[in-house]
Amino acid sequence: MFEGGCHCGAIRYALSAAPTGSMICHCATCRRISGAPIVAWISIDPDAFAITKGKPTHYASSPGISRQFCGACGAQLTYARDDDDSFLDVATATLDDPNAFPPTHHSWLSDDLAWVEFGDGLPTFPKGRYDRD
């Protein structure tokens, strides 16, 4: 069991299974929504994700894309596609232990900021590795 939540503590969640993926997204949408140059995500089975405290706010960042936030502190928590219920992405940095699931690759380098550079040697992809980002 892994737990996480937003910054202010109004929203808490629990994962009942380990993630199936872990990556860092460089896309312009994640950037603008989070106010950060990149956002790290883990992918999990949606059935393994449960909100245990509070009620997140939903935002459709693109048609068919739903992101959940804390309405109080603004922390971005999840990303989901209406047309694919096989996975849910959870913002890695909202986990109580973000070190538990290190990323395996970088996605959407096509949107990358010129001054974002990583020396981690992980694979990079111009768009989504699984073409679903």
Q: Residue 90, interface with Zn ion (CB under 5 A)?
A: no
Q: Residue 6, interface with Zn ion (CB under 5 A)?
A: yes
Measure the CA–CA gap between 13 and 54, rounded to whole angstroms: 9
DSSP reduced 3-state for 76: strand
Structure tokens at 66: 């739903």
Measure the CA–CA gap between 102 and 60, rounded to whole angstroms: 27
Q: Residue 80, interface with Zn ion (CB under 5 A)?
A: no
Measure the CA–CA gap between 25 and 133, rounded to whole angstroms: 8
Size of the site for Zn ion (CB under 5 A): 9
Considering only 26-34, 45-53, 85-93, 98-106, which stretch makes contact with Zn ion by CB under 5 A? Answer: 26-34
Considering only 9-17, 60-68, 86-94, 98-106, which stretch makes contact with Zn ion by CB under 5 A? Answer: 9-17
H-type alpha helices, 42-111: none
Indicate which single residue of 8, 17, 36, 122 sits in contact with Zn ion (rule: CB under 5 A): 8
Per CB under 5 A, which of residues 56..75 are in contact with Zn ion? 70, 72-73
